[in-house]
Amino acid sequence: MRVTRDLDLAEECAQDAFARALTAWQDAGVPDRPGAWLTTVARRRALDVLRREAALRRALPMLVVDDVEPEPELPTDAIPDDRLRLVFTCAHPALNSDAQVALTLRLLCGVTTAEIAKAFLVAEPTMAARLTRAKKKIAVARIPYRVPGPEQLPERLDAVLTVVHLLFTVGHTAPSGPDLVRSDLVDRALDLARMLRQLLPGDAEVAGLLALLELTHARRATRTDASGRMLLLEEQDRSRWDRDAIAAAIPLVRESLRARPAGRFALQAAIAAVHAEAPSYADTDWREIVALYGVLWQRWPSPVVALNRAVAVGLADGPGAGLAELEPLGSEPALATYAYLPAARADFLRRLGRYDEAAAAYAEAALLTDNDVEREFLRGRYEQVRTASGH
């Protein structure tokens, strides 16, 4: 980026360096400093491209000089991991928070534009346009991409936490493909959250995020059965949950809730803790979960929070109450293509014995998901309610 001032060209040069490594390292072996090798090859490629573009000849001397300026020296333990260092670097405050998060997920985390769009509840072309605008802003404003010093970390932390959370979310239930989970993304998010905890041990939201991820990941072994069928929370064998991980996460939840006001990750962690500590699905304190979602809505209003609260209301007060809470969300534009809204409606309608309506809602939900495991589950439920209705 420092050489090209153009994210697209920087990506191309980096990819070219990886491609060259695939052949060069087979012959000569992996170098002692592979990162430095890749950086050098990518930089040389970038300079070659710039030299061939006449429109940039006037800017070339400045770019070359800027290239050899040393990075500011940081304590070796300021940001102890290359990946985390890059996430903080991309979370540049000159960009709005959504652009920071989306660009970081796209450039560093192996998340596609389509997957980012689903995470943000927008259409893929909309997200592609946002990414393009963010790149143009970087180019026009000549935003320098440098590793931030320790004093700059707090202003970037919220974006970094959001990146890690969305990375985990995309991995926990893959937006598309044959598998329910993308373990590579889940593992990367957990690694980053644990490193953030080491870097900022006194930050309540860091503690809350790590607790949320650990508590959610503790259920990993029970999310599908032996045949690969998805299992809902009420169907899972809680004896197979990772109790050591849960025991380690609960103190983090308490620590995160001591901050006033409690942050969004602390509140989500508290909700996950209610599930984790319930001895059975029937013993879940749904009224406590409804209350926590109410506080979360005040702290971080979003359509997904409203949907989750509506589901909790239905489980606390009955499916009729849940349907009433879901009703106004049907006109929420952000949820128009969100499969979990018709899936929630379908479940409440099924519980009420309104099987024809439930079948229609299950069919709608199945059309809105691109994850094969989710789609098969929804189709199975569709067939069950069709049979129950006599069709």
In the three-class reduction of DSSP (H, G, I as helix; E, B as strand; rest coil), residue 38 is classed as: helix
Better pLDDT: 23 or 148: 23
Q: What is the pLDDT of residues 198-250, one digit of tens each?
A: 989 999 999 999 999 999 999 999 999 999 999 999 999 999 999 999 999 99
- Going from N- to C-terminal start, the domains of the chain cover 7-68, 74-180, 202-284
CA distance 267 to 109: 25
- Judge whether residue 55 has pLDDT over 70: no
DSSP label of 347: H
Q: What is the pLDDT of residues 259-311, one digit of tens each?
A: 989 999 999 999 999 999 999 999 999 999 999 999 999 999 999 999 999 99
pLDDT at 78: 60
Burial 146-168 (b: 16+ CB within 10 A, else e): eebeeeebeebbbbbbbbbbbbb
- Judge whether residue 391 has pLDDT over 50: yes
**What one-character-per-residue DSSP string does 291-311 give?**
HHHHHHHHHS--HHHHHHHHH
Region class of 5: left (phi > 0), else alpha (psi between -120 and 50), else beta: left
Rounded-to-10 torsion of CA 212, 217, 219, 224:
130
Across the chain, mean pLDDT equals 90
Amino acid identity of residue 98, one-letter, is D
- Judge whether residue 12 has pLDDT over 80: yes
Q: What is the pLDDT of residues 343-388, one digit of tens each?
A: 999 999 999 999 999 999 999 999 999 999 999 999 999 999 999 9
In order of 114, 219, 246, 287, 356, the CA distances from 124 in angstroms are: 5, 30, 36, 37, 32
CA angle 135, 141, 145 (to 5 degrees): 65
- Judge whether residue 3 has pLDDT over 60: yes
Residue that has been written with the tokens 């060209």 in this structure: 9
pLDDT tier at 76 (50, 70, 90 boundaries)? Answer: very low
Q: What is the pLDDT of residues 125-177, one digit of tens each?
A: 999 999 999 888 887 877 777 778 888 888 999 999 999 999 999 999 999 99
Tokens found for residue 271? 């909700």
- Judge whether residue 26 has pLDDT over 70: yes
CA-based nearest residue to 375, from 236, 178, 171: 178
CA distance 48 to 61: 13
pLDDT at 278: 97
In order of 6, 115, 162, 311, 377, the CA distances from 295 in angstroms are: 42, 28, 19, 16, 32
pLDDT at 389: 85
- Judge whether residue 86 has pLDDT over 50: yes
Q: What is the pLDDT of residues 320-350, one digit of tens each?
A: 999 999 999 999 999 999 999 999 999 999 9
Q: Largest alpha-carbon pair distance within the chain? A: 77
- Judge whether residue 312 has pLDDT over 70: yes
pLDDT at 18: 95
